[in-house]
A and B are shown apart, each in its own frame.
Chain A
């Protein structure tokens, strides 16, 4: 009888806690929805591969789910590194950010986190899996990118396709390579598998190959045209973007380790529309967004079994970034940029 009573009390307590949690969650959600209604608009910075159509599709689903009529001002990224630096510069000057939310890689969000430029929110209170919440409640992960050397399939014969990172240093590629300004790709190698010395030595040798230096989207076009035969790294976003057009672009998939930047989304400190921002960040973890995200950018989460990203990562050595690597990657990526001649 006593045992039954304890069990009953436990059950009641559990239910009460669950109910309280649900009520608290519902309360937090209602507060955000009410705030979002007042704010009415969101300034959204995201990958250019998502495009205005993708951003609008996500917003339509968002409005439908929460019964809102929010307008979106989407800014496609032309240069995530430069725009992250811009946010840092504006904040240091006491200016508000240009965007409410930024959907950029974990390395870029790492740079913001180091300077405390995200506006944290307890996203788990909205039911978001804690494993997807990063940078001290500053961001939520959305999907994984993969970065590898990419080449023009029409102009590079199969036997010449790089099989290791070191193959890029072969003198035959001199003047035919490209490097994009996402120098954090090499920064991740330094923080992970390679260490500083090996990475910097590799980058110096790569620089001696006289590569063409551009932004990622521009590099994809130069690869397709054949102006560059191999790009030292490129994201799968660019491959996905041209996939349907039949452009001759592919990854050198034998190269290992594979670098995997993760797309994170977070509200920027001093954002003009924080409620709609937090609500949108939470919404980004939903299944609806995952589907839209896959449709427009080709990206999925590498940690959700069955997704294309999950399948791609199987059997490969993949480098994921950890929060404690943020400072190192931030610093060494700038050093690498200087060695390559970007600034």
Chain B
């Protein structure tokens, strides 16, 4: 009896203590949170730290307001800020003017060749912006642009009517390149839209166009607004278009100013100035992220776009079918066909020239043959490392975070969700500059500068917000009963996650894995900011070739890259055909 009493007492004590001790899940979540705070917080902290320092990273210097004084007391900063806002707003406007009708046509109507158009849109996302920009120079440059030449001939104009080397020109090229991304973001909202209001409008005899303007757009306005804010955040951070079009014409935006501060054309690197400029970007980013979260929440309140139980009927376009198809084709031409044709043309020439009989007679394949010699093996190996490690690490972290956020009652799960969303508010270029500074100034503790791992890290941080949004949404769809059944059967939380949850969300996770891999493959801003001889990737080779004037070679590389992307996308679509429609998991 005594023994039994003692045992009961021990058990009772353990249970009592257990109530005060954190559970395994909580401990795990706390560990993961601490890791993420370091993982995400360090580069951001570095940006703030370097903004208060002068000199080179690693030099022992006192903290100073000097960089802020220089930046904020210079009128140029405000000019650049205005340029940045104009560029971002115009880019987003151009994107939406094309993307919204495109989404409606493809998601809500019976337009033919839908699958082919989806694939082409996907390829569009994967054509490096850099290569497309080069193609647009050949089309819209005031002196040599083919479009300008044709317009001058047709309308007998003395001056070229279009000038690519302007903020508007930059916004046009950037806006076009945002369209596929915006399309996939808006697709889900349009696909799941309640058709009853739309059908009521048709019954009342309202035209399709008027219904689109008065019903479809207002219903999806929160989704459009969220996409607008997302794209605006992206537009203030992009670098390729501002670098190729803006810098030669002395048009600076914040991202190009940050880049040239750390890798100047004629002077010495000034990380302090980059940090002070970065502070503006950080404030802009965080404000926009706050706005974005609010808009997304507001969007969820719209019961008409929950999609539960609806299967919207496709609208028969009738005679307008061909007009809609023409619209899509015009867009695909400027997004995919024309840039690809220009690159193909340039890749076959001994030197870059406009189409002519003389040029036709000099076509050659030598740049393709010489590609292995010019590019070498390392960029391919490094790019493959990025394409496999970035999505893998991102998705492992995303699944773990989403599992805690969606499936557990850990008290700080909201904090974790916010934490992994922060990188979305911090422009990639800033994250890369912060990591670069970390690597240079604290190399003993962070010996990654100059390695491919530092780019892996930058990309992973950059896409963890995207990864967790995806895993959050797919995990919500898995009913708790299945997990509970696993637990009742005696399986641990980890085993339930591994054996029950993961197989159920595998398709969505795999889809995101592929996307992140492809985004990592084409990303150039962060890779360029962290570029050294050892971590060169294909995207940065393109930049180096362009700088060296190897345009035919860079075009040949571009053609190969686009064909590679097309093969990957085609293969993945085939493999994931059971996953469902495009945009389901993105």
Interface positions of A (Cβ within 8 A of B): 43, 45, 48, 51-53, 73, 75-79, 81-82, 85-86, 88-90, 92-95, 98-99, 176, 181, 183, 212-221, 224-228, 238, 241-242, 244-247, 333-334, 336-338, 341-343
Contact = CB atoms under 8 A, between A and B. Distances in A.
Contacts of A342: 260, 264-266
Given A43-B533, A98-B534, A218 B549 contact: yes
Nearest to B534: A98
Nearest to A217: B549
A228 B353 CA distance: 13
A226 B249 CA distance: 16
A45 B544 CA distance: 13
Nearest to B532: A98
A293 B97 CA distance: 54
A121 B198 CA distance: 81
Given A48-B548, A48-B549, A78 B533 contact: no
A82 B266 CA distance: 6
Contact of A221 (B374, B450, B532, B551): B551
Contacts of A227: 137, 141, 143-144
Nearest to B260: A343
Nearest to B373: A52
Nearest to A176: B143
Contact of A92 (B58, B266, B352, B550): B58
Contact of A95 (B260, B353, B450): B450
Interface in B320-360: 350-354
B547 A343 contact: no
A315 to B, nearest CB: 30
B247 interface: yes
7 contacts: A43-B533, A48-B548, A52-B373, A81-B266, A94-B58, A225-B353, A247-B351
Nearest to A91: B56
B205 interface: no
Contact of B533 (A92, A99, A218, A337): A99
B373 A53 contact: yes
Given A89-B269, A213-B248, A217-B547, A245 B351 contact: yes
B311 interface: no
Given A92-B56, A93-B441, A225-B353, A77 B548 contact: yes
A333 B352 contact: no
B104 interface: no
Given A89-B440, A98-B534, 16 more contacts: A51-B374, A78-B547, A82-B263, A92-B58, A93-B58, A93-B441, A93-B443, A95-B450, A176-B143, A181-B266, A221-B549, A225-B144, A227-B144, A334-B267, A337-B264, A343-B260
Contacts of B547: 78-79, 215, 217-218
A98 B450 CA distance: 8
A219 to B, nearest CB: 7
B440 A183 contact: no
Contacts of B4: none
Contact of B265 (A81, A93, A226, A228): A81
Overall SS of chain B's interface: loop
User: Which of B55, B141, B549 neighbours the largest number of chain A CB atoms within 10 Å of its CB?
Assistant: B549
A343 B543 CA distance: 18
Interface string B38-66: 00000000000000000111110000000
Given A48-B550, A220-B549, A227-B144, A213 B250 contact: yes
Contacts of A220: 549
B563 interface: no
Contacts of A181: 265-266
A337 B266 contact: yes
B266 A86 contact: no
A238 B549 CA distance: 9
A75 B353 contact: no
B277 interface: no
A86 B548 contact: no
A337 B250 CA distance: 12
Given A77-B548, A246-B350, A95 B440 contact: yes
A52 B443 contact: no
Nearest to B549: A217
A217 B533 contact: no
B265 A76 contact: no
A338 B268 CA distance: 12
Nearest to B251: A341
B265 A337 contact: yes
A98 B549 contact: no
A176 B352 CA distance: 19
A90 B450 CA distance: 11
Contacts of A75: 533
Contacts of A247: 350-351
Nearest to A78: B547
Contacts of B533: 43, 45, 73, 75, 98-99
Contact of A343 (B267, B351, B373, B550): B267
A260 B137 CA distance: 32
A82 B248 contact: no
A212 B165 CA distance: 10
Nearest to A213: B248
A221 B249 contact: no
Contact of B143 (A52, A226, A333, A338): A226
A100 B500 CA distance: 54
A75 B534 CA distance: 10
Given A93-B58, A221-B549, A86 B269 contact: yes
Given A95-B450, A238-B549, A333 B266 contact: yes
A225 B354 contact: yes
B351 A242 contact: yes
A343 B247 CA distance: 9
A225 B373 contact: no
Nearest to A92: B56
Contacts of A86: 263, 269
B451 to A, nearest CB: 12
B143 A85 contact: no
User: Which of B137, B138, B260, B265 neighbours the largest number of chain A CB atoms within 10 Å of its CB?
Assistant: B265
B546 interface: yes
A85 B373 contact: no
A53 B268 CA distance: 31
B376 interface: yes
A157 B405 CA distance: 71
B325 to A, nearest CB: 34
B266 A89 contact: no
Given A48-B550, A78-B548, A218-B546, A89 B450 contact: no
A78 B351 contact: no
B449 interface: yes
A338 B267 contact: yes
A51 B549 CA distance: 12
- Rank and list the top 4 A-B pairs by shortest CB-CB distance, nearest first: A217-B549, A337-B266, A78-B547, A92-B56
A89 B544 CA distance: 20
A73 B376 CA distance: 10
A212 B549 contact: no
B250 A343 contact: no
Contacts of A176: 143
Contacts of A45: 533
Nearest to B55: A92
Interface string B115-146: 00000000000000000000001100101100
Contacts of B362: 246
Contacts of A218: 546-549
A328 B261 CA distance: 22
A225 B551 CA distance: 11
Contacts of A333: 266
A96 B141 CA distance: 42
A213 B57 CA distance: 29
A52 B549 contact: no
Contacts of B56: 89, 92-93
A73 B533 CA distance: 9
User: Which of A45, A85, A246, A334 neighbours the largest number of chain B CB atoms within 10 Å of its CB?
Assistant: A85
